[in-house]
Amino acid sequence: MRRLWLPNYTYVYTMTHIRTEQSAAMRFSALALARNAASFHENWPQLWRSPTPQSRYDVIIVGGGGHGLATAYYLAKEHGISKVAVIERGWLGGGNTGRNTTVVRSNYFYPESAHFYDFALRLYEGLSRELGFNVMLSQRGMLTIGHSAHHLELLARWVNALQLNGVDGELLNADQVREWLPLLNNSAAARYPLRGGLLQRRGGIARHDAVAWGYARAADALGVDVIQNCEVLGFIRDGERIVGVETTQGQLRAPKIALAVAGHSSVLAAKAGFRLPVTSYALQAFVTEPVKPVLSCVALSMATGVYLSQSDKGELVVGGGLDLYPSYAQRGNLPTLQGVVAGLLELFPCFSRLRLLRQWAGIVDVVHDSTPIIDKAPVSGIYLNCGWGTGGFKAIPGGGFVFAHLLATDRPHKLAEGFTLKRFASGALIDEAAAAGISH
Amino acid sequence: MLRIPCPWCGPRDEPEFRWGGEVPLVRPGPPQAVTESAWAEYLFMRDNPKGLVRERWLHTLGCRQWFIVVRNTATHEIQATSALGDPLPEIRP
Amino acid sequence: MSANAWRLDSGGRIDRTQRLSFRFDGSAYQGFAGDTLASALLANGVRIAGRSFKLHRPRGLFGSWCEEPNTIVQIGRGADLVPNLKATQVELFDGLDARSVNCWPSARLDVFAPLQLLAGLMPAGFYYKTFMWPNWHWFEPLVRRAAGLGVAPTLPDPDRYEERYEHCDVLVIGGGPAGLAAALAATRAGARIVLVDDRPVLGGALQWEEHIIDGQPALHWVSAVESELRAAARTRVLQRTTAFGCYDHNLVALCERSERTSPTAVRERLWHVRAAQVVLATGAIERPVVFPNNDVPGVMLASAAMNYAVQYAVRPGQRAVFVTSCDSAYDAAEALRARGITVVAIVDVRGEPGDSATSAARAGIPVMAGYGPARVHGARVTRGIEVRPLEQGAKSWRSDHVQRLDCDVLCVSGGWTPSVHLFSQVGGRLRYAPERAALVPAADLSTIRCAGSASGSFAVQDCLSEGFAAGREAAHLTGAAAECGVTPAALAKHAGVAPFWASPRDRRRKAWVDLQNDVTRGDLELAVRENLHSIEHVKRYTTAGMAVDQGKTSNMNALALLAELTGRRIPDVGTTDPRNVSRPARWSVLSSAAPHAPRPLAHRARRRVGRLRGLEASRLVRCARRFPGGARQIREARRADCGKPFRWFAARQNRSTRPRRSRFSKPHVLQQHAHSRRGPSPLRHHAQRARDHY
């Protein structure tokens, strides 16, 4: 059963279902595949151009991950600003967009975040058709498992909050959870006995690379310059104002410079001369070898913080806690791996013979209240999109949308009014530590 | 897995320790004279550098002493450690 | 076909007195002690032993160890099921029950085989371009069912696992010539060392390559070194042990597999080894060549063919053709010829192959220098190969003259790729060495050095001297400075190689780059055409190198082809970001002693269970597992749970599936009753519950 709530933001949802105007050659479909098969697939156009950087843009977006590309896309599409450059140090989607566990959901607690993440999820729901690129959104359900009376109490409170905020969510009892997760440890001796759960049916997973590529392709079609292998070396100042960036591909100037660089936000902020309430940690993810379908939804255990899903390819994708010290090294660590695996096997003892195939880490930008910052920076000319912590992927369409709004109008979008930098001084924090799902 | 040389116990594995934040971090005062932004600066704003940083660690499962570590956040190399109370170790680039 | 028809009459390091029965895809076969599942299948003439991931193409054995991309099997049933093993790494045991994965009913007759006909509609990344209308949700269940390899077990794992910690001066990873030499030097220097090798027997390639070391056959040298190492007090030799991860500050994670001695033995053991110095002697993996139809069963690596023939006394075929760009294949050809296999020709893409070719020709093996493979004939089994003369530089054909060579096994060798995964994981940089056609470590790290084939020195004499030097230096750095003796020396062999990644392009025929994931040269071309030029994008778009073999045979070819397609040099393309782990490792071994695992109280209780088999003990087990904090925590929890029932929660539930109220009000009491009804043994009870449920 879907319970959809129509908040005051209805207009934005409808707006985004307008298809991007694309030439027939660009449009992807089964028919296009068949047509191209006849010509041995030799006539596919480029997904995006490799433009030479121009010296002036209206907006320069630093960071070619999901948020940066989505921002560029919505700037061009919603606000008609297409003289935009997205500059990326390495390759598109190579940061956290390519390193996460691909979970999308909107079961947040406070109104600000619940509305915002639900908006992002709604955009996801129409994203494949909108971008003409299958991002494989699979709304298979996100199930948070409670293991004790205390967990059930928390879940009940959480569901109430969700329903008040118009987000779908249902409480499940132990039997219902068992129906969803028949392989869950059901024995009386389970260290974490099964008591109940919270299900968000609209939650699920999406193909992470496809999200970045889909936005890049659509933004490129709207005239945005997507420039890879272009590292920011410093900022160009005009008095107090920042007016451009010095890059490995030369100087680029723009009145507005947007930073969407997740874990590296502090590094760029230091170059621009300010500090952020951000600490960068390594968040690890693990995949097993692919197996036939064994898991129908995304499952998260409240006791261990371990969560897992099965990708369409068949790999189990598992995540857990952060490495508990700041790091910019994008590699895995053994103690966290062991802790996560132990937690996982307490939940699903039968997975113990599956084998770890890859382990990696993304650098996440954690702020104290686990709520993003979408705001102007203390230095004029710079705009910030950071603080996503462990939850940036699920927010990509929403983050891009509201950030584009801020860049275009210089006013925060209604959905992101609370996500300011000032909240750290005023104390109006939105503490989503619990609903963010991962122990920070 | 890091191997952290505790100034009191010698080199031990990472799970024995807890990270305790960047140093130096000076509490502003007196309280009635501190502005909101100065508090925010003290409570939340961090350098969070990519590279060498001085930070406090606690040997939780050992001597339970706080001490200072100079660590590279990009490579995880540990350059120096020193006991609390000793002068802060210099960062050698 | 009679049992072991493909077995040679003599030779091999198998125990012909010990016959082992096993099943594959439901048929019964026999092998010998010392066989792997792969060698036993080959000996029984099983040519189609697997199916590819996407197109369900028939596939045969391709490699002989961890590089095997094709023959993925699952063994055992029920709680003993282990999915996704490489047949080449499964040691044969009596009663082994293996099945191929991702096909039905068997690899030989797969009902999904017609998917190949749709190959044209399924280029790289086709799923990004379709399945959008009306909604991905309509297609996803089908796609999910088609994907995945083996079947995951649904019963809890009955095996035991352990965890151990070890500190040493020098950790030597790899028990081939370089590793043995390094371990020997470090041991003699007086260091405390651990030698790790992932095969059941030490020696690495010396088990099947024929060399003379210190004036004696290589295997004699191996056993002499092994006895010296085992006799040394401060040296530990771990066999069947894989170093799968290299972490910060020289922590290396090892996974040791036990022999199948008894069902209750520890199945796998995780070692955390903190070493002052690490010597990586991980060897190299032979690289295939990309040319049309190169995935037909019967196409295999030259080193694998040699391995099967020499170590397991199995004929990989009756008539062999070699396609090579390096000297090592000549040794393989000679080894096969000496065992009665007809070597039709050695097709060397190099115009002037050098001394190896001269001696091969002298031995009566025809050498076709300057020819390249144009296509393989055969669908379910190799029937022959077409070769064509190549231009100088091997970038295009010199003439239209096509010559067909009939054969049933085609041994390919495009050079060797050093196994530097562990080195890259800790941040070691690689450089491209064109004279070796390989990415080799640019410079050793301060505590981690590479030796032998892993550093790009493929000749056995270099492996020995480099390994010995690396072992000595590493030991010296840790303060062990005793005299190491003389460096072992081998009769020199040629190890010349020319870079050759792929035959000239043939747009109508598919040439496979990644066998398991069905990534073809055309897929790479498509990715480049769509402006995906970064190696990471190409990897993710085409899935090249993302299969369970982790691209051990495909990564380098994909990289070189990408460089060619984008007009860049190989060093400019760079490599993909190295990600742990270098070999797949079981979850269970990773969690054996981790923070969430049951604590000693539970272990103690379980020991008591063996004696008491009573209710009291079982309650203790249950409580202990749930409350690692001990009795006080249990009492508190009982007070919290039973003293204040959460009726309000029960009332909130959906009415139709409302749980029994008592379950929420007095869980412990209820479960206790349920338990006593079912019988006294908690373990049996546990298993029963599991069976009932699943």
Mean pLDDT for C589-594 is 70
Region C47-54: what's the mean pLDDT?
94
Question: What Cα–Cα distance (Å) separates residue C352 from each residue in A201, C38, C392?
Answer: 66, 36, 10
Q: Do C136 and A138 touch (CB under 8 A)?
A: yes
> Higher confidence at residue A333 or residue A18?
A333
> C-contacting residues of A 144-183, CB under 8 Å?
149, 152-153, 156, 170-171, 173-176, 182-183
Q: Which two tokens stand for residue C297?
A: 């069963």
Task: Locate A40 and state its tokens.
Answer: 């041995």
What's the gap in Å between the CA of B2 and the closest CA on chain C?
6
Q: Are A403 and A302 spatial neighbours (Cβ–Cβ below 8 Å)?
A: no
Q: Any chain B CB within 8 A of the CB of A309?
A: no
Q: In whole angstroms, what is the distance from residue A308 CA to residue A347 CA?
A: 11
Nearest CA in chain B to C252: B1
pLDDT surpassing 80 at residue C643: no
Question: What is d(CA C375, CA C369) in angstroms, rounded to the nearest whole number?
Answer: 17
pLDDT digits (tens, 9 = 90+) for A239-249: 999 999 999 99
> How many other β-carbons are positioned within 10 Å of the β-carbon of residue A139?
23
Cα separation, C523 vs C503, whole angstroms = 16
Q: With 50 as the cut, is the pLDDT of residue C669 above it?
A: no
pLDDT band at C2 (very low <50, low <70, confident <90, very high): low
Residues in B closer than 8 angstroms to A284, CB to CB, are none
Q: Is C584 helix (H, G, I), strand (E, B) or coil?
A: coil
C274 → chain B, closest CA residue = B3
Instruction: Indicate left, alpha or beta for A97 from its phi (over 0: left) and psi (-120 to 50: alpha).
Output: alpha
Chains in touch with C (3+ beta-carbon pairs under 8 Å) read A, B
Higher-confidence position of C675 and A92: A92
Pairing of strands A225-227, C585-586: unpaired
Q: Dump pLDDT digits (tens) for A267-321.
A: 999 999 999 999 999 999 999 999 999 999 999 999 989 999 999 999 999 998 8
Number of CB pairs, chain A paired with chain B, less than 8 A apart: 68
For residues A77 and A263, give the distance between their C-alpha atoms in angstroms, rounded to a whole number: 27
Answer whether residue C239 shows pLDDT above 80. yes
Confidence check: pLDDT of C646 > 70: no
Tell me if A189 and C425 make a contact (CB, 8 A cut-off).
no
Q: Does A390 touch chain B (CB under 8 A)?
A: no
pLDDT confidence of residue A436: 61
Which contacts of C485-489 are long-range, i.e. CB under 8 A and separated by 24 or more positions?
A: C485/C188, C487/C181, C488/C181, C488/C184, C488/C213, C488/C214, C488/C221, C488/C464, C489/C213, C489/C214, C489/C461, C489/C464, C489/C465
Closest alpha carbon to A328 in B53, B42, C429, B22: B53
Query: A7-13 contacts: CB < 8 A, separation 24 or more?
Result: A7/A115, A7/A166, A8/A414, A9/A115, A9/A119, A9/A414, A9/A415, A12/A119, A12/A401, A13/A119, A13/A122, A13/A123
State the pLDDT confidence band at A26, using cuts at 50, 70 and 90.
low
> What pLDDT score was predicted for residue A190?
87
**Phi, psi of C443, deg, nearest 5:** -155, 145
Residues 11-70 of B with CB under 8 A from A: 14-15, 18-19, 36-37, 39-41, 43-50, 53, 55
CB contact under 8 A, B3 and C251: yes
Task: Give chain A's length.
Answer: 440
pLDDT for A309: 97
ipTM computed for the complex: 0.96
Q: How far is A256 from chain B (nearest CA, A)?
A: 24
User: HEC states along chain A?
Assistant: CCCCCCCCCHHHHHHCCCCCCCCCCCCCCHHHHHHHHHCCCCCCCCCCCCCCCCCECCEEEECCCHHHHHHHHHHHHHHCCCCEEEECCCCCCCCHHHCCCCEECCCCCCHHHHHHHHHHHHHHHCHHHHHCCCCCCECCCEEEEECCHHHHHHHHHHHHHHHHCCCCCEEEEHHHHHHHCCCCCCCCCCCCCCCEEEEECCCEECCHHHHHHHHHHHHHHCCCEEECCCCEEEEEEECCEEEEEEECCEEEECCEEEECCHHHHHHHHHHHCCCECCEEEEEEEEEECCECCCCCCEEEECCCCCEEEECCCCCEEEEEEEEEEECCCCCCCHHHHHHHHHHHHHHCHHHHHCEEEEEEEEEEEECCCCCCEEEECCCCCEEEEECCHHHCHHHHHHHHHHHHHHHHHCCCCHHHCCCCCCHHHHCCCCCCCCCCCCCC
E-assigned strand segments in C193-289: 193-196, 212-213, 216-217, 235-238, 241-247, 251-257, 266-280, 284-286
Touching A (3+ Cβ pairs <8 A), the chains are: B, C
Q: What pLDDT, in 10s, does the model give residues C523-578?
A: 999 999 999 999 999 999 999 999 999 999 999 999 999 999 999 999 999 888 77
Judged by a CB distance cut-off of 8 A, whether residue A273 touches chain B is: no
pLDDT of residue C665: 36
Average pLDDT of B9-17?
Answer: 94
Position C79 pLDDT exceeds 70: yes
Residues of C in contact with B2 (CB under 8 A): 248-249
| pLDDT 10s digits, C286-315 | 999 999 999 999 999 999 999 999 999 999
Which of B4, B6, B13, B69 is most worth mutating to test chain C (most C CB atoms within 10 A of its CB)? B13
Per-residue model confidence as pLDDT tens digits over C608-620: 333 333 333 333 4
Measured CA distances, C169 to C121, C475, C651 (Å): 56, 7, 64
What are the φ/ψ torsions at residue C577 (nearest 5 degrees)?
A: -60, 120
Q: Return the residue matching tokens 């003990």.
A: C617
d(CA C437, CA C414): 9
Q: Quick one: fold of B44-93?
A: Folate-binding fold (3.30.2270)
User: Residue A334 and residue C247: Cβ atoms within 8 Å?
Assistant: yes
Interface residues on B facing C, Cβ-Cβ cutoff 8 A: 1-3, 13, 75-76, 78
The reported pLDDT for the residue numbered A189 is 82
CB contact under 8 A, C529 and A44: yes
Contact between C82 and C75 (Cβ < 8 Å): yes
pLDDT, one tens digit per residue, over A129-155 is 999 999 999 999 999 999 999 999 999
Q: CB contacts < 8 Å between A and C, how many? A: 291
Query: Looking at residue A438, what is its pLDDT?
Result: 52
A277 touches chain B (CB under 8 A): yes
Name the residue in chain B with its Cα closest to that of C273: B1
pLDDT, mean of residues A358-383: 95
Question: C583: pLDDT confidence band, cut at 50, 70 and 90?
Answer: confident
CA distance C572 to chain B (A): 23
**Which chain B residues are within 8 Å of C248, Cβ to Cβ?**
1-3, 76
List the single residue in A326, A329, A426 with the smallest CB-CB distance to B48.
Answer: A326
Closest CA–CA distance from residue B73 to any residue of chain C (Å)? 12
Q: What is the pLDDT of residue A183?
A: 94
CA distance A381 to chain C (A): 31
> Taking CB atoms and an 8 Å cutoff, what residues of chain C touch A50?
531, 533
Q: Which residues contact C163 (CB under 8 A, 6 or more apart)?
A: C269, C270, C271, C272, C589, C592, C593
Tell me the percentage of chain C whose pLDDT exceeds 90.
Answer: 76
C491-522 residue pLDDT tens: 998 889 999 999 999 988 999 999 999 999 99
Q: Are the CB atoms for A286 and A340 separated by under 8 Å?
A: yes
Angle between helices C615-626 and C600-612 (to 10 degrees): 170
Q: Which residue of B has its CA nearest to A365?
A: B48
B-proximal residues of C, 263-282, CB under 8 Å:
272, 274
Task: Tell me how many residue pairs between chain B and chain C have CB atoms under 8 A apart.
Answer: 17
Q: What is the mean pLDDT of chain C?
A: 86
- Residues in chain B within 8 Å Cβ distance of A329: 73-76
Looking at chain C, how many residues does it have? Answer: 694
Which of B18, B37, B73 lies nearest to residue A327, judging by beta carbons?
Answer: B73
Q: Whole-angstrom Cα distance, residue A43 to residue C531?
A: 13
CB C306 within 8 A of CB C337: no
At C434, is the pLDDT very low, low, confident or very high (cuts 50, 70, 90)? very high
Interface touch C674/A188, C-beta < 8 Å: yes
Q: Using the beta-carbon criterion (under 8 Å), do B75 and C427 form an inter-chain contact? A: yes
- On the question of pLDDT at C285 being above 90, the answer is yes
How many whole angstroms separate alpha carbon C185 and alpha carbon C484?
5
E strand or H helix that includes residue C424: helix C421-425
Residue B37: list chain A partners with CB under 8 A.
425
Between A263 and C3, where is the model more confident? A263
In chain B, where are the structural domains located? 44-93
Which tops the pLDDT comparison, A372 or C585?
A372
What confidence tens digit (pLDDT) does each residue in C101-128 have? 999 999 999 999 999 999 999 999 999 9
Strand order across the A232-238 sheet: A232-238, A241-247, A250-253
